[in-house]
Amino acid sequence: MPHLESDVLVVGAGGAGMYAAIAAARAGASVVLLDKSLVGRGGATVMAQMTVAAALGHQEPDDWTLHLADTLKAGRGLCNEELAELLCRGGPERILEMDAWGTRWAREGGHIKQETAPGHSRKRCCYVDFLATGPAVAGTLRRKVGETSGIRRISNVAVVQIAVKGGRALGAVGLSVRDGRLATFHAGAVVLAAGGLTRLYARNSASANMGGEACALALEAGAELVDMEFVQFFPIGHLAPRLVGMDPIMWDPFRYKLGGRLLNGRLEEFVDRYGGTDFGRYTATRDLASYAILKEVEAGRGSPHGGAYLDFRHIGEARLREAFGPVIDRLLANGIDLTKTPVEVGPIAHYHMGGIRVDGKMETRIEGLYAAGEAVGGANGANRLSGNAITEALVFGERAGRSAAARARSGAPPWEASLAEPSIERLDALKKGKGSPGAAWPAMVQSELQRLMWENAGPFRTGGKLAAALERIREMRDELPDLRVGAAGAYNLDIQDWFELRAMLLSAECVVQSALARRESRGAHQREDFAETRPELERNQVLELRDGRLCSRWITPMGRVEADRG
């Protein structure tokens, strides 16, 4: 079995992972940077096309404390204030460092241009251009990783286990996507930067590697998760016609710059039926817009793909081109002419506010195990402020990498081959082909899980639906050993799918169990059977594994003076 040694192991090579690797290397650590796809081209950052929030004060006077106030307001009382402060205080330094590394932020009059986005009290959000902010950020980090000595990049390896002994992380076990073999990685510290979990849902804006693996790996290693019930659903994600090479959440700036009419399947405006006044403008909140669209679908008045129409036909081509010139051409290349045809939109899973519980150094309760980026829970509370996602990736990535390098300098206990035995036993069992000829393939069960999560744990939840989802998820976990896996060795995607599914089921169980326990509506968690926000539940929900069972407790949000409830 291949075995590699390094000071720091970074799992996941999106924005947070690459920044962590750079920070660890410039602190003097040797780094192995792993990704299950291609280093620098997976994860959420490269897919983002929107803006990045940081209180630079270039466009108008601003301060990180004002950014923090907006972040806490959006978080509905549940932000980990220590992490939220790190995010807002550290954002400007990271943006300027990226500028120095070559990110071509849009400029105006010699300064970085900043715009106002929903929820921000200042013009605070910078960007490269409408289509390329995420790819530009990822490209800059990819180049910087390549220029930085001490970073070994390895693609196509999916980490399936964090190796822990005596409460200390010692490395990981990875599965090679190419040849189906396991490999072990010994390190003085491990950074989990493998993203969020929105691929648990049938409708999502996620990349292929956002199935909750980071949360599952951390939980099984002995770390805690926090606020897993808070999944952010973007109300007007693109459903149809087919859109290639463009962000499915791209319609937000169209609406707040130009308006745009939301129409049901009968081409009627409908937001007013649900308490909104959105006609031709962008005034309905995201939760109200999501609710109105889904209720129209339930009533049989949805668009053909189960959403609503977003119509710009009342806006002339000249105005569309003035606001979004090159984007209009990209849409035309996709066969979408906004002057002639409305598009279909609907709520899609977009971001996860919950995740791995860490302290101010990004360290979990497992010594030497860190987290960064969307895998971290708590900074955004019950609802993320627009523009905070890439900022979080950069700030938390840098801090996690620097902290991990410091931890690694204290040395690590030696590697023991027995640490990899759980993964070896699982893989051996799979290769023996226990599944019966009629059993399902892992990819089929993944699809079933995505449908189940969308229908029962989506934007609007009830106790009955959540309980049914929890029961089926636990059945699926019991069925895992009997699934069919092909016998081929190289490029056997069944094996990768099986390990992915195993992690997806554990993360899904965490989301549903937490959602069932939170009997209120708050931020992105909306219960139709508990519509009110309850002051006594202004608490974070923490999950851990005890003897293989998920256990939860409620705590006071970090940064508050009250003690844990226990």
Residue from 360, 353, 357 nearest 559 by CA: 360
Strands 526-527, 460-461: pairing is: parallel
SS3 526: strand
Residue showing tokens 């937490």:
514
User: What percentage of the chain's residues is helix, strand, coil (to nearest 5)?
Assistant: 40, 20, 40
* 286: annotated active-site residue: yes
Angle, in degrees to the nearest 10, between helices 81-101 and 64-74: 130
What span, in angstroms and rounded, lies between the C-alpha atoms of 462 and 529?
6
Strands (E), 199-290: 225-226, 231-240, 261-263
Check residue 461 and report its DSSP letter.
E
The structure tokens listed for 342 are 């409305």
SS3 39: coil
CB neighbourhood size of 87 (10 A): 29
53: which strand partners? Answer: 125
**Which H helix or E strand runs over 165?**
strand 157-165
Candidate list 261, 286, 484, 539, residue with the active-site label: 286
Phi, psi of 468 (to 5 degrees): -65, -40
Cis peptide bond N-terminal to 241, omega within 30: yes
SS3 338: coil
**Which H helix or E strand runs over 31?**
strand 31-34
CB neighbourhood size of 112 (10 A): 20
558: which strand partners? Answer: 560
192, 124, 112, 233 alpha-carbon torsion, rounded to 10°: 50
- Residues with a catalytic annotation lie at 286
